A and B are shown apart, each in its own frame.
Chain A
Amino acid sequence: MDVTRRHVLVGSGVAALAAAESIRQADSRATITMVSAEDVPFYSRPALAYLLTNELPESQLSIRSEREVAALGIERVTGLAEGLDAAAHELALSGGRRISYDRLLIATGAASIQADFPGAALDGAVHVDGLSEARDFVARARRARAAVVVGGGSTALELVEALQACGVATHYLMRGSRYWSKVFDAVESAIIEAQLIEQGVQLHRGCTVREAVGAKGVLTGVNTVDGRHIPCDLLAVAVGIRPRLELARAGGVATERGILTNEYLETSAADVYAAGDVAQIYDPVTRMAQLDTLWASALAQGTTAGLNMSGVRVAHRKRAPMNVTRLGGITVTIVGQVGASEDPDLLTLTRGQSERWMTDTDSWSVSGARTGDRLRVIVSGRVIVGAVVVGDQRVSRPLAHLVGEAVDISQLRPMLDANPNDAMDLLLSFCDAHVSDRTADHY
């Protein structure tokens, strides 16, 4: 009897790659077939931000050497997986090809949603999901004279940065009164906005696009609800992303906002798993199933899914959600639960975000010593449950540890309350004393 297990992975992002790596580590004989629409080497999606700003050449994008890829022994199939017969364990590709599997991973990621105003389909209205769109964006930005960016989160500012790098006059339109109010408080938003203004970005607060307009199908500008016309030859849209659920739904796999899985990344269909941006994973601790579009989460989920597909029973342990991003040239770390408020610029979750960030908690904050620095710590009882570190990052690593490990800070709390301006030093000292973190002692 042939006992070689046939694994089929749909998607080629970091979740699928990590799954392939853990499958191969656990089972040298298994076959691994990877089906993806993009026929490109494995790359890091967050790295596209630096490709857009010309800080990174495309030749540097590949995250695995040819030798490493060859060692995985993956058969790569370029195509669209559009049908799933879960009972028969069969995947159907466009064009009619069918692939049988013993274990299937759906790691189809998430796609940008279109703007909710007329004209969003004009030539010149763009979004960036993958490498091909990033290439197209760069080509357009090099020709453009003026651009409008709508949306929020880190993706919107990645596009703003890319346009600035190409010398394009850039208008950033915010429906709300401030930037990324879903995650930031007013002070944090103001720091980022001040930086953007200093860089020459024209900020339009409380400004909603009524329609994008063009001639012969090509974008020429946008009209706003308050009656303004902004001429532009590029409209960059980053109003949110939505998990690609078509395949799961075609196969009758249970979905909600994403594909529902248990902590073993198993879906409702036997031998079908999900990981990455498309997966809505149940957490037995919080008893909630939440989406997460963080790169590190996708990597961890893919690894766990691959092990479970190989027969190694491992529960996915959700870590404190953390993202480090650069906004207007300022490094920002967001970790744990950081609160929630309305954000009219985002219609859905954006890339590099976690639903677990969004909780109502008491927060405590202090500004850093230098203009442009800001530290906000969210405390619940005896533990720090979240933090936002803007600018000076010395404290971000220790904080991530305190949040992730739920370290009891009851001894530290009175000192923080009494000396909020010394928060950075107090937190660093506390970590030195209480956390065996080898990174705490740097020179």
Chain B
Amino acid sequence: MDAERVRLLATGLVVADPGRCVQCGICSHNCPCGIDVRAFARVAGAVTDARCVLCGSCVARCPRGTLSFTLLRQWT
């Protein structure tokens, strides 16, 4: 794992735009880490599960553009 990847893992997370989400579950279905992304998106607005490796599968597969990466310091 290169230094940039480590930096992103330490400082980034996947966040959800609740206005776009219809809780379809494609994000959870495609998560290789088995995280229930949909539940995190609904309850917390962000994937705060420590297993998340920021692979981007959920971000890429969401048909409504609900999920995106952001910096931890910008997420409150």
Residues of A within 8 A of B (CB): 44, 46-47, 50, 55-57, 60-61, 63, 65, 295-296, 319, 322, 324-326, 331, 333, 393, 396-397, 400, 438-439, 441-443
Across-interface contacts of A441 in B (CB, < 8 A): 70-71, 74
Q: Does B19 have its Cβ within 8 Å of any Cβ on chain A?
A: yes
Q: Is B35 an interface residue (CB 8 A)?
A: no
Are A439 and B70 interface neighbours, CB within 8 A?
Answer: yes
The smallest C-beta distance from A427 to any residue of chain B, in angstroms, reads: 16
Contact for B19 among A55, A322, A331, CB less than 8 A? A322
Knowing A326-B63, A326-B64, A331-B65 touch, does A47 contact B22 (C-beta < 8 A)? Answer: yes
Residue contact A46 to B71, C-beta cutoff 8 Å = no
Question: What DSSP secondary structure best describes chain A's contact surface?
Answer: mixed
Choice from B12, B22, B64, B68 contacting A439 with Cβ under 8 Å: B68
With both chains docked as a complex, state the minimum distance between the C-beta of B16 and any C-beta of chain A, in angstroms.
10
The docked-state distance in angstroms from the alpha carbon of A369 to that of B15 is 27
Give me 14 other A-B pairs in contact (C-beta within 8 A), A50-B63, A56-B26, A324-B65 excluded.
Answer: A46-B22, A46-B24, A47-B26, A55-B63, A56-B29, A57-B29, A60-B25, A60-B29, A324-B20, A325-B64, A331-B65, A393-B65, A397-B20, A443-B71
Contacts of A65 in B (CB 8 A): 39
CA distance A324 to B76 in the complex (A): 25
Do B23 and A63 have beta carbons less than 8 Å apart? yes
Which of these, B26, B39, B68, contacts A50 with CB under 8 Å? B26
In this complex, how many residues of chain B approach chain A with their Cβ under 8 Å: the count is 25
Cross-chain contact of A296 among B19, B24, B38 (Cβ < 8 A): B19
Q: How far is the CB of A408 from chain B (nearest CB, A)?
A: 21
Provide the bound-state CA to CA distance between A296 and B20, in Å: 8
Which residues of chain A have C-beta atoms less than 8 A from B12's C-beta? Answer: 443
Q: Tell me if A47 and B69 are in contact (CB < 8 A).
A: no
Check B17 against A439 for contact (C-beta < 8 Å).
Answer: yes
Question: Do A50 and B17 touch (CB < 8 A)?
Answer: no
Q: How many A-B residue pairs have CB under 8 A?
A: 73
Question: Which B residues fall within an 8 A CB radius of A?
Answer: 12, 15, 17, 19-20, 22-26, 28-29, 38-39, 63-66, 68-71, 74-76
Bound-state CA distance A293–B4 (Å) is 44
Cα of A396 to Cα of B7 in the assembled complex, Å: 28
Residues of chain A within 8 A (CB-CB) of B64 are 324-326, 331
A326–B22 CA distance with the chains assembled, in angstroms: 13
B19 pairs with A400, CB closer than 8 A: yes
Find out whether the CB atom of B63 lies under 8 angstroms from the CB atom of A331: yes
B25 touches A396 (CB 8 A): no
With A50-B63, A65-B39 as given contacts, are A442 and B23 in contact (CB-CB < 8 Å)?
no
Using CB atoms, name the residue of chain A closest to B11. Answer: A443
Residues of B within 8 A of A400 (CB): 19
Point out the residues of chain A lying under 8 angstroms from B71, CB to CB: 441, 443
Smallest Cβ distance from A46 to chain B, in angstroms?
4
Interface centre among B38, B63, B64 (most CB of A within 10 A): B63
16 contacts between A and B (CB under 8 A): A47-B25, A50-B26, A55-B26, A60-B25, A60-B26, A60-B28, A319-B19, A324-B64, A331-B64, A439-B15, A439-B70, A441-B74, A442-B69, A442-B70, A443-B12, A443-B69
